[in-house]
């Protein structure tokens, strides 16, 4: 993962609120490159990602000639002496851990004009490092390196060799930045995404299935409604019919009075409507517009359909629970009970004995 993408990931964590809870665990490594000339005028270059930026250090690069404090290698005290000043090319202070706080070491070197401060670990710690906290010195690049590497540079400088050091930003590490966690988060993201897609696919398929069932049910009901409509009485109004002579009679669907020659349909509830008005209505609603009478039920069409469905279903069996002694039994009633005690006996003999004793 490149530095740019890593910084974008940090920005994402910050915006998502995860940065605040993970800041204490995230740290950045530093790329440390040293360059010096050997006795045979051959330049030696060494580079490793072996430094760790201080918690309060800016994530910037730095470069310069490595310089040691005179006398105390730990660089403590209010004004330690370095054999360089700000008039020389940029230089980097290399100090040993111990005796005073990291902030004191860093500020002392900064006052002398150091471009950056490199702290190497105590003796016997190998190449291990720790996370420096230096809240009082947060405006200068400060990193820590291991004791082995630090002593190698110290010996070169003490022997009169000019060592040029280049510091650059490495990679973030921590619970949200380690490669393992990035893989874990990526896999978790794809699992959640796949599960979400599967869930929405299931919901969509279920909705389509229910919609298909609803359409088939509507189609079946329309078919039944057509059968019922064919069973309804149809009349042609003539002059002298009550529906024409009375002003109180009008079609409740189109709200128009009846005229001679109009073809009307008489529903099972005796309400009359224009045939061309009521038939589309019945196909959609199957009830009288005035009294809500269900024509399918009134004509028995729906009952026939229900009977066809129930004929395909298994018969219902009534079950009673019989209790006796410490056990419970479920007894199906598959026939009408007879008063003959010899035909119907209890499966639980203990219960049967209790019943006979009660008699």
Which of 177, 206, 225 terminates a domain? The answer is 177
pLDDT for 186 equals: 83
Same domain, 267 and 188: yes
Same domain, 51 and 90: yes
pLDDT for 21 equals: 44
Same domain, 156 and 41: yes
pLDDT, one tens digit for every residue, the chain (359 residues): 455 555 555 555 444 444 444 445 678 899 999 999 887 788 889 999 989 999 889 999 999 999 999 888 898 887 788 877 656 689 999 999 988 999 999 998 888 889 999 999 999 888 888 888 888 888 899 999 999 999 999 999 998 888 999 999 988 876 555 566 667 778 889 999 999 999 999 999 999 999 999 888 888 888 888 888 888 899 998 988 888 888 788 898 998 888 889 999 999 898 999 999 998 988 888 889 989 888 888 887 755 444 444 444 445 445 455 555 555 555 555 444 444 444 444 444 443 444 444 44
Cβ–Cβ under 8 Å, residues 252 and 282:
no
Cβ–Cβ under 8 Å, residues 296 and 224:
yes
pLDDT for 244 equals: 85
Cα first-last separation, the chain: 90
Cβ–Cβ under 8 Å, residues 54 and 133:
yes
Same domain, 9 and 105: yes
Same domain, 104 and 143: yes
Same domain, 157 and 217: no
pLDDT for 353 equals: 47
Cβ–Cβ under 8 Å, residues 269 and 282:
no
Which structural domain, as residue segments, surrounds residue 50? 3-177
Same domain, 120 and 74: yes
pLDDT for 18 equals: 46
pLDDT for 9 equals: 53
CATH number at residue 59: 3.50.30.30
Same domain, 150 and 227: no
Same domain, 268 and 169: no
CATH number at residue 257: 3.30.40.10
Give the chain's domain count.
2
Same domain, 142 and 246: no
As a whole number of angstroms, the distance between CA 88 and CA 9 comes to 39
* Entry pTM: 0.47
Q: Are strands 116-120 and 141-145 parallel, antiparallel or unpaired?
A: parallel
pLDDT for 176 equals: 52
Same domain, 59 and 149: yes
- Beta-bridge partner residues of 359: none
Which of 143, 177, 211 terminates a domain? The answer is 177
């Amino acid at each position: 993962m490149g530095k740019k993408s890593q910084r974008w990931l940090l920005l994402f964590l910050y915006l998502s609120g995860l940065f605040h809870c993970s800041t204490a665990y995230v740290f950045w490594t530093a790329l440390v490159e040293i360059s010096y000339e050997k006795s045979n005028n051959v330049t030696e270059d060494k580079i490793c990602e072996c430094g760790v930026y201080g918690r309060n250090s800016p994530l910037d690069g730095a470069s310069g000639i490595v310089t040691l404090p005179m006398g105390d290698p730990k660089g403590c005290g209010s004004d330690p002496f370095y054999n360089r000043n700000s008039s020389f090319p940029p230089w980097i202070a290399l100090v040993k851990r111990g005796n005073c706080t990291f902030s004191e070491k860093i500020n002392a070197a900064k006052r002398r004009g150091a471009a950056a401060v490199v702290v190497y670990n105590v003796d016997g710690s190998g190449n291990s490092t720790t996370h420096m906290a230096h809240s009082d010195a947060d405006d200068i690049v400060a990193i820590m390196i291991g004791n082995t590497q630090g002593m190698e540079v110290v010996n070169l400088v003490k022997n009169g060799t000019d060592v040029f050091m280049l510091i650059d930003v490495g990679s973030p590490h921590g619970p949200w930045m380690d490669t393992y966690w990035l893989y874990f988060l990526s896999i978790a993201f794809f699992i959640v995404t796949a599960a979400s897609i599967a869930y929405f696919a299931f919901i969509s398929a279920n909705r389509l299935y229910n919609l298909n069932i609803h359409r088939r049910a509507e189609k079946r009901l329309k078919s039944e409604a057509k059968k019922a409509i064919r069973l309804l009485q149809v009349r042609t109004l003539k002059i002298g019919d009550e529906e024409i002579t009375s002003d109180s009679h009008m079609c409740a669907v189109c709200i128009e009075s009846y005229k001679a020659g109009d073809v009307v349909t008489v529903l099972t509830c005796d309400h009359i409507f224009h045939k061309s008005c009521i038939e589309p209505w019945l196909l959609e609603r199957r009830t009288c517009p005035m009294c809500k009478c269900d024509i399918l039920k009134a004509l028995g069409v729906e009952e026939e359909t229900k009977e066809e469905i129930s004929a395909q279903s298994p018969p219902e069996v009534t079950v009673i629970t019989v209790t006796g002694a410490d056990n419970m039994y479920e007894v199906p009633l598959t026939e009408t009970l007879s008063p003959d005690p010899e035909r119907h006996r209890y499966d639980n003999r203990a219960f049967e004995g209790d019943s006979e004793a009660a008699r």
